[in-house]
Structure 1
Amino acid sequence: MGRADGRRTRQGGGARRAERSGGGIRRVFSLKRILGTLFTLGLIAMVGFIGLYLYVDVPAAAEDAKKQSNVYKYSDGTVLARTGDVNREIVGLDRIPKDVQKTFVAAENKSFYKDAGVDFKGTARGLINTVSGKGKQGGSTITQQYVKNYYLNQDQTVSRKLKELVISLKVDRKKSKDDILAGYINTSYYGRGAYGIQAAAQAYYNKDSDRLTVGEGAYLAALLQAPNQYDWAVATDKGKKLAKARWNYVLDNMVEENWLDAGERSGLKFPVPDKPKPAKGLKGQSGYLVEAANRQLMDQGVTEAEIEAGGWTITLNVDRKKQKSLEKSVKRTLTDKLDKDQRKVDAAVQAGAVSVDPKTGKVVALYGGEDYAQHYTSNATRRDYQPGSTFKPVILASALENDAKTQDGQPIRADTVYDGTSGRPVKGGKSGYAPPNEGKKDYGDITVQRAMDNSVNSVFAQMGADVGMDRVQQTASDLGMQKISQDPAMTLGSMGASPMDMAGVYATLDNHGKKITPSIVKKATHKDRPDDVQPEPVGDQVLKRQTADSVTSVMQGVVNDGTGSAVASGNYEAAGKTGTSDNNVSAWFAGYTPELVTVVGMFGEAPDPQVAELKRPGGGKAKQYDHVSLAGAGGDGKIHGSGFPSRIWAAYTLGALDGGSDARFDLDTDMGTGVAPPPDPTRSEEEPDEPDEPAETPEAPDPPDDEPDEPEQPSETPEPPVTDEPTFTPPTEDPEDPSRPSDGPSIPEIPDRRQR
């Protein structure tokens, strides 16, 4: 064979090989084989998905998705504070207007009410983009976004997206569309730290979700696409254009779906949101109000764990105007006059006050201290200081209620005459008990009315023995006081009591003997509880009306002619009582008009020795939180109830009553100054009545000092451990020293946490 023949043979063989090769490729990639492969892959995917569907269960809700804040409101609905790690208040669709609900569907998923809960195309696109590294992609249904928010997390992984798909299908079958929509609206993040529509409505429009307009709802729905970029307060010009475009998109979709009338749509203007406001925290008085509300909720059977879990909307009885009036009165009358650099004792001054509506028992104002962030113990509810002579009306009430008589058989009334000699031994009582009067002053024969006006210790110590200490104890308990002993020193207010306690006592007297337990909580609601918590502050008749009214009549004399004359005013009718413990450790004024009961306490509490070194009344350096004397505080010399506490009371009452009131006490009694002043056997031309004329204004010079009670021993407060937040253990009752206060259960009482 020649070379030409060989070449042709080789070429022919190559052609045949090429022909055979092309045929092989066609056989491998034939349409049948391609379809078969795709079918097989589809079958594998389907089997895999079925397996995944059977394997993946709907998990429990993610912890963060369930977290809510507690919202505290003033009586008028204005938000006072929010607490909790997450600013969220879950609300039902009944608190979201129908057209506002539709804005979210129009923005995110127009087919929501018809689909099976998933968008397979969108999910596939998301999976491909995730695998290829193109980042987060949209396209999910409302159900899928709800599942991601409520059950899963925001991770962009293939496994999370597959789980989202499966769980969404199951959730759509198990839950109604309304439940899913509500869950989505409540779990989504809207910017400004707000989770859920209720928090968002407050953050952007300062209103509750049930008051949102369709235009406002459309803006909140638009926010979900880009919360920070679309926030009008911080958005760039481009961001504002995008936000408006998204808002228009939402509304146009609503018209398209026949959820919004085209005419109404054309008339809508873009609702520019409010500027951001700082979160409602617990500084100033807010913390004291929140703590008092929480404590009362626990007293109503709500556990601390339930409160901390969040989700509560707690409306207080606190009147915003009266609260501000009380805060301003304390500041202008007391704290503005303190100078801790000039007077060390000024660093020890603590003030607390509670104001109550006597007809309803509502706590309309409360002052717990200068700042909750600085001093965690509420001076309004603490029980580690003696109420002093503010307890004396309770003794008189017990005497009248029990038809008690003196040692010589005379009925005890306002005009009953006692021996007012200082330090005289009490007859018929505990042997050796002989308390002195203020300055050891002797009053001789004196009526009960005048003894109340001038706070004469010897008279009320004897009256306690005449009534019987067991009966006095019972009356005090009936009026709501805690852990009252039968020791004779109790007649001079040697027990521990809070301004809240004493406000309840005096409100009951003002309410004609019908029991008042002051309530700071108006109503507390939680979406997971069938019933609201609504305390009932008005109780049963615990004193006869004549008893309560007679004590009120007698205490009018204290204001008109006695130690409480600093609060006397032609602008209102008032009754009340001063109280001061020995060594000026505490000072009080408890008083009321026909419309308002207010108790003000002033307490000496040793600060950190690094701030000011002070001594205990009994001698020795005071440790932080020890009781110390207030003498000299505010440049006022001795501190008495007739001083700062009375001035605060008068300034607040004038403000709270809008400058005054024509209301008068409706008294069913024939005794006391409120009816007709009884004769005073000690009066003479040479000895004019004491104290001086009533002050015409709250800032007038003080009247004569009221009488302090049995000397108070300073409390021995254990030194708190060195921690970030020191704790305080209140003093316990000392059987050897009945004047020392004892702690007890509180309604409501702030946990003993002190300055740090």
Structure 2
Amino acid sequence: MNPYGEPQSSRARARVPGSASSTPDDQPRTYSASARPTGSARPAPDAYRRGAGGRAAVGGATPGRASVGSASVGSARVGPPPAAPPGRAPVARAAVRPTGPAGPPLPPDDEGSLGGGRSGRGKDKSKAAKRRRRTNILTAAAAVVVILLGAGVVGGTYFFDDVDLPPPVNEDQSNVILDSKGAVLAKLGDQNRTVVPEPKINKVVEYAVAAAEDKNFYKHHGIDMKGIVRAAWNNFTGGATQGASTITQQYARHAAELKEISINRKLREAVIARKLESKYDKDQIMGMYLNYIYLGEGRYGIEAAAQGYFGKSVLTPAGQKNAVTPYEAAVLASIIKQPEPTDTHKGYDPNYNPTDAKDRWEYTMANMLEMGWISQEVYDKRVYPKVKPISKSSAAKSTAGKPVGMVMRHVRAELAEMGISPAEFDKGGLTVTTTIDPDVQKAAEEAGSRKSESSPMNGKPATYQAAVIGIDPKNGRVLGYYAGDDPDGLDYGGYLSGDGSKIIGGQSPGSTFKIYTLAAALKEDISFKTTWDGTKLRPNGTKISNAGADPGTVCKGKIKFCDLETATIKSYNFPFYWIADAIGRDKVIAAARDAGLRHMFTDDGKMVDLTKTDKSTWEKTGYFDNEVAFGQYRVVPLEHAEGVATIVGNGVHHKAHFIKSVTRLDPETGKKTIVGSEKVAGKPVFDPDQMSNMQSVLREIVRVDDRDLRGGQQGIAKSGTWEFKEGSGDTWFVGGMPQLAATVWVGGAKNKVELKESNGRDMFGAGTPSRIWKKFLDAVIKAKDLPNEDFPKRVETGNPDSPFANGQEPPPPPQNEDDNDGGDCVLGFIGPDCNQNNGGNNGGGNNNGGGDNNGGNNDNGGGNNDGGGNGNDDGGGDDGGGNENAPETQPTFDPTFQPQN
């Protein structure tokens, strides 16, 4: 199949029947100027030039010259027949060769002779030879009749037929997707094409294409009458389908979508070609042609071919570094004849058929020399250039099957937000520079993918899935995005549909949602020193789970007056429920919205757009209850990551985004214009002092979970778990460092599963997710060689005696009063109390001695509180120092949501 939708034989070009010894048209012969037959020193005018010298009588062949047509066809010179049987002359295509410079091999004629020639052995007088000559004469006569009729039809059609000149075709182009460093992530679009302006194209490329396809392009008027003859002959004889004709006719066929092979099509093609030549100049036609042609390996247009085969641009001026050379231009031009292999011929792509590709290249180079488009010196120094292999060029520029390919659907969605419609995108020609940092992307994939041997997910069941998202908190750029290994599968990071048009699911964030509850509480002047009652029942009489902990051990036994800071570190739920109840759950939801969460799902799967609704909707029956404060309701992980970045970024919200800039190349001027760009201006949504207060508490979680970052880099984090059936269904670890916010989710692939660690125990956020989180950030620190950066110093904010707090008054410390009547001390010196009483205040007694207060069991000695006792906080805790002892209690209804595939 040739590049224009027509099947081709190995000889590719149509031929008038002749001797079986005829060589494939356009293949080089190796005879020199001195070997030319008599009378060929000054060849006839070319086939498209008018002139008196171009006329010849039919059949009246002089020695060495077979003349068959009129000025519109030209005369034909017969060269020495290559190994033809005696008495048989080869029939090649009739084309005229102006005398070329002496020395290089003269290229073959473009067309074969229609008449008989002289063999080196004299005229064959056998009956078979006579029959052959008679057939050739009749054939020539029939062809001339068709030519004359064709010329008349063309002339009449041009003026009288209703053949319209189609407008220039706006060629579909590919869209180039780059990472933040300019490396190609993908080329999207139906065709890998980049339209370039003709005036900017390196001229040697245009000359090479003319040399290979139509060396008289700059002389004729667009019509190849011999092509019409070939179509007619094949219609009469049932011969093979034909190749293309002049460059103008080839483009005419494309512009008019003329597919069939027939005399009618050839005539219409000729009419359109003449009209094209009347309206456009040669350079314009060449430009349209070069942007249209197919050059193999999925590359459309000369620019895509130059980039694909040589990694160069045809827009680089000749002589400059990385400009396309004449030798490379000839390679590209030589492919046009037959870019793809067929059953009968392997084509001229050097990656598939280097032998024939080089032969065709020699032919093109010789034509370039003959036409004066290269010098003799350039020709003599010719060396076939090295072409980029198929495997490397295609694999390096494709995201097919790679996790980073998931980014493409988010790119499409953001382009639509920028006002670039799907139709405009499909038209192509866009260069999209994404925010993806290759180092961060690699770290995210290696930390989160089960296929990565170094990932904590490696070895986990195939039903387990992770998502890892890294966002720059200073501008909202998504630097790394791992949302599954299959880019065409379910998007576990953004739950975005394949076409980028809608969100199809989410996951329960569990205790990681408490960062928004804290932001709302701090905004209401609630201090981390406020205390809360963990024994208080919900209005419906049910208990609030304290992460599964024994009520007697919660908050070091201070369950009725537990401080908010300890509750945050230990991830108890009750203070957060009562914060939502006290200040209003709508304020918690509003804080999440302000941080970056847009969507949240009700328990029955209804998706609510938080940016388009308010308290009047959120507090309706069937929407959100106080459990929102500790993460019952499903959210989109990518949006949650955006909210986490707001907390990490000191309360300044930046919209998470994947596109830095979008440019389009103007086909007319060659200039790139910006048609879309990122918006990195942030919006302060939380007080920075309040954020420093929260960040200081969240730093303790990193320490307690033993997730300190590489090189002593400060980090903040919050773990979270939401249950499924009898175990864990969603597990999270979120937070980051000042340079990068990191969100990690681990859950079920497609469907919910009960998550277990390798030891068979339930998985919590402080387990596998936290290890993924640390591995991700440590890898980024190493790859980017990031210097340490600290969070702001803590500013304690809020009212410790906030009226919203509901903690009970702690009981007064036990007091030992002097018993004047002796109590258990008889006569003042007999009994258990005698030593205490007699020790006095200044001896070893109650206050300053070795007594209960400073040296004994109560406050400042080695007692239960600060002396390394049994507390849950810093002394080893209920679960070995972890923040979570069990997943949050699931209410009576099922909070899980099965995302759609």
TM-score (ref. length: structure 2): 0.62
Structure 2 counterpart of 1:589, from 712, 729, 733: 733
**1:609 aligns to what?**
none
Structure 2 counterpart of 1:57, from 139, 164, 175: 164
**1:685 aligns to what?**
868
Contact 1:499/1:601 (CA < 8 Å) preserved in 2?
Answer: yes
In 1: Cα distance, 2:378 partner to 2:741 partner: 52
**2:99 aligns to what?**
none
**1:610 aligns to what?**
none
Contact 1:435/1:710 (CA < 8 Å) preserved in 2?
Answer: no
In 1: Cα distance, 2:284 partner to 2:720 partner: 59
**1:320 aligns to what?**
438
- By relative contact order (CA 8 Å, sep 6+), the higher-ranking structure is 1
Offset of residue 274 of structure 1: 1.4
Offset of residue 222 of structure 1: 1.9
Offset of residue 84 of structure 1: 4.5
The verdict on how the C-alpha distance between 1:493 and 1:249 changes in structure 2, with shifts beyond 3 A counting, is farther
2:676 partner SS: coil
Contact 1:130/1:136 (CA < 8 Å) preserved in 2?
Answer: no
* 1:340-739 to 2 correspondences below 5 Å: 346-373=461-488, 375-381=489-495, 383-400=505-522, 402=523, 404=524, 411-414=525-528, 416-419=529-532, 421=534, 424-425=536-537, 434-441=543-550, 442-443=554-555, 444=558, 445-482=561-598, 483=608, 485=618, 487-526=625-664, 532-561=675-704, 563=705, 565-582=706-723, 583-605=727-749, 625-630=750-755, 632-635=756-759, 637-658=761-782, 661-667=786-792, 669-671=794-796, 683-687=866-870, 690=873, 704-706=882-884, 710-712=888-890
Please, what is the CA RMSD of the aligned residues? Answer: 3.9
**1:162 aligns to what?**
267
Structure 2 counterpart of 1:338, from 459, 470, 482: 459
2:248 partner SS: helix
**1:290 aligns to what?**
408
User: What per-residue deviation string (whole Å, max 9, x for no partner) do you get for residues 77-134 of structure 1?
Assistant: 3332344444434444477545444433444345545654334455556655665555
In 2: Cα distance, 1:230 partner to 1:473 partner: 64
User: What per-residue deviation string (whole Å, max 9, x for no partner) do you get for residues 208-236 of structure 1?
Assistant: 65565224333212211232433222225
The verdict on how the C-alpha distance between 1:204 and 1:324 changes in structure 2, with shifts beyond 3 A counting, is same
**2:9 aligns to what?**
none
2:588 partner SS: helix
The verdict on how the C-alpha distance between 1:354 and 1:262 changes in structure 2, with shifts beyond 3 A counting, is farther
The verdict on how the C-alpha distance between 1:149 and 1:711 changes in structure 2, with shifts beyond 3 A counting, is farther
- Give 1:289's aligned amino acid: V
Unaligned runs of 5+ in 1: 1-37, 340-345, 405-410, 606-624, 673-678, 695-700, 714-735, 744-751
In 2: Cα distance, 1:41 partner to 1:305 partner: 45
Contact 1:455/1:706 (CA < 8 Å) preserved in 2?
Answer: yes
User: What per-residue deviation string (whole Å, max 9, x for no partner) do you get for residues 297-322 of structure 1?
Assistant: 23333344444555544332212232
In 2: Cα distance, 1:692 partner to 1:143 partner: 86
User: What per-residue deviation string (whole Å, max 9, x for no partner) do you get for residues 461-511 of structure 1?
Assistant: 223334332222222111121245452111001222222112211222233
Moved more, 592-601 or 111-120: 111-120
1:272 aligns with 2:377: no
The verdict on how the C-alpha distance between 1:527 and 1:594 changes in structure 2, with shifts beyond 3 A counting, is same
**1:118 aligns to what?**
223
Unaligned runs of 5+ in 2: 1-143, 316-321, 341-346, 497-504, 599-607, 611-617, 620-624, 668-672, 798-858
The verdict on how the C-alpha distance between 1:472 and 1:49 changes in structure 2, with shifts beyond 3 A counting, is same
The verdict on how the C-alpha distance between 1:225 and 1:385 changes in structure 2, with shifts beyond 3 A counting, is same
1:249 aligns with 2:360: no
The verdict on how the C-alpha distance between 1:45 and 1:145 changes in structure 2, with shifts beyond 3 A counting, is closer
Contact 2:436/2:658 (CA < 8 Å) preserved in 1?
Answer: yes
User: What per-residue deviation string (whole Å, max 9, x for no partner) do you get for residues 319-349 of structure 1?
Assistant: 223222221222235576335xxxxxx2421
Contact 2:547/2:889 (CA < 8 Å) preserved in 1?
Answer: no
2:439 partner SS: helix
The verdict on how the C-alpha distance between 1:348 and 1:125 changes in structure 2, with shifts beyond 3 A counting, is closer
The verdict on how the C-alpha distance between 1:265 and 1:52 changes in structure 2, with shifts beyond 3 A counting, is closer
1:191 partner SS: coil
2:792 partner SS: coil
Q: Which has the higher helix share?
A: 1
- Give 1:570's aligned amino acid: G
The alignment of Structure 1 onto Structure 2 pairs a total of residues equal to 626
The verdict on how the C-alpha distance between 1:230 and 1:704 changes in structure 2, with shifts beyond 3 A counting, is same
2:468 partner SS: strand
Contact 1:218/1:250 (CA < 8 Å) preserved in 2?
Answer: no
The verdict on how the C-alpha distance between 1:184 and 1:44 changes in structure 2, with shifts beyond 3 A counting, is closer
User: What per-residue deviation string (whole Å, max 9, x for no partner) do you get for residues 715-755 of structure 1?
Assistant: xxxxxxxxxxxxxxxxxxxxx95x83789xxxxxxxx652x
**2:324 aligns to what?**
213
Contact 1:317/1:364 (CA < 8 Å) preserved in 2?
Answer: yes
Contact 1:356/1:507 (CA < 8 Å) preserved in 2?
Answer: yes
* 1:163-242 to 2 correspondences below 5 Å: 163-175=268-280, 177-206=282-311, 210=315, 213-214=324-325, 215-228=327-340, 229-237=347-355, 239-242=356-359
In 2: Cα distance, 1:692 partner to 1:174 partner: 89
Contact 1:126/1:138 (CA < 8 Å) preserved in 2?
Answer: no
- Give 1:385's aligned amino acid: Q
Offset of residue 514 of structure 1: 2.4
In 1: Cα distance, 2:458 partner to 2:148 partner: 84
User: What per-residue deviation string (whole Å, max 9, x for no partner) do you get for residues 561-589 of structure 1?
Assistant: 3x4x3354434221121111123110111
Contact 1:352/1:600 (CA < 8 Å) preserved in 2?
Answer: yes
User: What per-residue deviation string (whole Å, max 9, x for no partner) do you get for residues 176-233 of structure 1?
Assistant: 5554333312221212232223432343235565565224333212211232433222
User: What per-residue deviation string (whole Å, max 9, x for no partner) do you get for residues 256-296 of structure 1?
Assistant: 14xx6776676664321111125635323144122222222
In 2: Cα distance, 1:180 partner to 1:693 partner: 80
In 1: Cα distance, 2:469 partner to 2:766 partner: 18
- Give 1:455's aligned amino acid: S
Higher Rg of the two aligned structures: 2
Contact 1:495/1:742 (CA < 8 Å) preserved in 2?
Answer: no
1:143 aligns with 2:257: no
2:453 partner SS: helix
Contact 1:350/1:369 (CA < 8 Å) preserved in 2?
Answer: yes
Offset of residue 648 of structure 1: 1.2
**1:740 aligns to what?**
895
Contact 1:580/1:707 (CA < 8 Å) preserved in 2?
Answer: no
Offset of residue 249 of structure 1: 3.4
The verdict on how the C-alpha distance between 1:692 and 1:305 changes in structure 2, with shifts beyond 3 A counting, is farther
In 2: Cα distance, 1:251 partner to 1:196 partner: 21
Contact 2:764/2:887 (CA < 8 Å) preserved in 1?
Answer: no
The verdict on how the C-alpha distance between 1:740 and 1:145 changes in structure 2, with shifts beyond 3 A counting, is same
In 1: Cα distance, 2:305 partner to 2:483 partner: 31
Contact 2:401/2:485 (CA < 8 Å) preserved in 1?
Answer: no
Identity rate, percent: 27
Contact 1:545/1:668 (CA < 8 Å) preserved in 2?
Answer: no
User: What per-residue deviation string (whole Å, max 9, x for no partner) do you get for residues 605-641 of structure 1?
Assistant: 4xxxxxxxxxxxxxxxxxxx443321x2544521111
Contact 1:525/1:531 (CA < 8 Å) preserved in 2?
Answer: yes
1:299 aligns with 2:424: no
TM-score (ref. length: structure 1): 0.73
